[in-house]
Structure 1
Amino acid sequence: MDRSELAPLIDHTILGPETTPADVRAVLDDAREHGMNACIPPYAVELAAEYAPNVTLATVVGFPHGQHAPDVKRREGVTAWQDGADELDVVVNVGRLRAGDDEAVEAELAELVAAVPIPVKVILETALLSDAEKRRACEAARAADAAMVKTSTGFASVASEKQRANGEAVSAGATIDDVELMSEFLPVKASGGIGSYDEAVAMLEAGAERIGASSGVEILEGAPE
């Protein structure tokens, strides 16, 4: 896959807690120059839409823990769309999912999807979930008519208490196994820890249709021209 083919599949991302408007503009400059999309903090969507109107803009909802009240997530998504977002990446409520409250998880997602006319991607935070929980989360996302499922926020750097107690080896980011599992349900955005061309291609070959990465430029620099 050459650079021109790969670039539109990358959401060049900046979502850290110290992200400044200047940081956002730098990411937008990179995205515009290389033909990538951009994923930016909600506060910067209006700025970004004015600064780089030809760049596809994704932003996040309920980020990074997914524990916002459903109405707050809905209003956050609507505000982002009205500010100029082209896509939304919403974090699933992991606590409710793990408690078995799948109906509430689905209802929350469906409410957001119905409130905006733009694609909604559902972030599972796979590092915190068992395979069975990942499947249930994907089922809820599909039932809610989400456009995609996404592996990770990139901020879940440790395994859950239950996983540590079981001695499970857990990646905080995207894995081949998770992409393969999730792609059985919906298109997948692989995000978290993808820093090279080879890693990006491996995710795409596993079934991902989008890559989320703060290293978008580095990934493309490794691609053949």
Structure 2
Amino acid sequence: MSLSNDHWAPLVKAKVEEVLADTSFVAPTSEFSSITAPDAKFALGIDHTLLKPDATSAQIDELCDQAIRYKFKSCCVNGANVEQVSRRLEGSGVLTCAVIGFPLGAGTTAAKAFEAKDAVTSGANEIDMVVNIGALKADNYALVYSDIRAVVDAAATTVKVILETVFLSDEEKIAASFLAAEAGAAFVKTSTGFSGGGATAADVLLMQKTVTYKSGVKVKASAGIRSFEKSLEMFKAGAERIGTSSGAAIMESADVAAGSY
């Protein structure tokens, strides 16, 4: 069923006012917020990520082998690499995650839905899609909702919605998180890592505060997370998943060079 802006505008306004008025919210504790070292429990909160446009087949294999070695939650890759990753990870317990509408979020809804379905057919277990940022900033809530819902329906699996927080006001972050939760997303996610900025504890807490009304909806922090300390900061703010290309280095307590993800 298609829902108009007349339906969504007052609901979004009410949610924004509710969240901004709540000054006593505290991030819920989780198994990840109590970790003290990059151990096996920590690894289960990591989406090990390689989204660079020049990633080679050999680098993708290395990503998968690292994920298997450390037992990360998933490997997150571009669509062209999904089938390779799915084969490499078979039987390991590590999930295959594909990005959709990445990194701009500006494709048509039909294209995003097709891309999601194709990724799942190729072996993806989880989908990370970019919200239609322009529609969100134009208060076109009906399009934002229907765009997410179409991907959720097409994927029929875990969908994480990337808000690209660097472009958004707090009110827009709340609106996007609320619409994603209403559309059936399993996670709301901070950033792509391709537009500057990155995850902050304040954004994670705000997003967690917004979606806490919807049972089972979680927050993923991504972009600029290149140390155990930064990861722990995100977990303590309410994140239940971390997206990082530095997972192996963090597990090895190695120095990590600056990068986009």
SS in 2 for 1:188: strand
CA shift at 1:50, angstroms?
1.1
Counterpart selection for 1:207 from 235, 238, 241: 238
What's the counterpart of residue 156 of structure 2? 117
SS in 2 for 1:208: coil
Q: Percent identity?
A: 42
Please, what TM-score do these two structures have when normalized by structure 1?
0.91
Letter in 1 for 2:189: K
What's the counterpart of residue 228 of structure 2? 197
Offset from partner CA, 1:55-105 (integer Å, 9 cap, x none)? 211110000000010000000000000000010000001000000101110
Residues in 2 aligned to 1:45 and 1:116: alpha-carbon distance in whole angstroms = 14
Letter in 1 for 2:88: Y
The answer to whether the Cα contact below 8 Å between 1:92 and 1:122 also exists between their aligned partners in 2 is yes
Offset from partner CA, 1:88-147 (integer Å, 9 cap, x none)? 000001000000101110011011111222100000000000000000000110110100
Residues in 2 aligned to 1:154 and 1:28: alpha-carbon distance in whole angstroms = 20
Please, what TM-score do these two structures have when normalized by structure 2?
0.78
- Number of residues of Structure 1 aligned to a counterpart in Structure 2: 209
Residues in 2 aligned to 1:94 and 1:64: alpha-carbon distance in whole angstroms = 11
What's the counterpart of residue 142 of structure 1? 181
| Unmatched segments (≥5 aa) in structure 2 | 1-34, 212-216, 255-261
| Unmatched segments (≥5 aa) in structure 1 | 158-171
Letter in 2 for 1:179: V
Matched, 1:9 2:45: yes
CA RMSD in angstroms comes to 1.1
Counterpart selection for 1:47 from 71, 84, 87: 84
Residues in 1 aligned to 2:253 and 2:204: alpha-carbon distance in whole angstroms = 22
Residues in 2 aligned to 1:221 and 1:211: alpha-carbon distance in whole angstroms = 17
The answer to whether the Cα contact below 8 Å between 2:188 and 2:207 also exists between their aligned partners in 1 is yes
What's the counterpart of residue 160 of structure 1? none
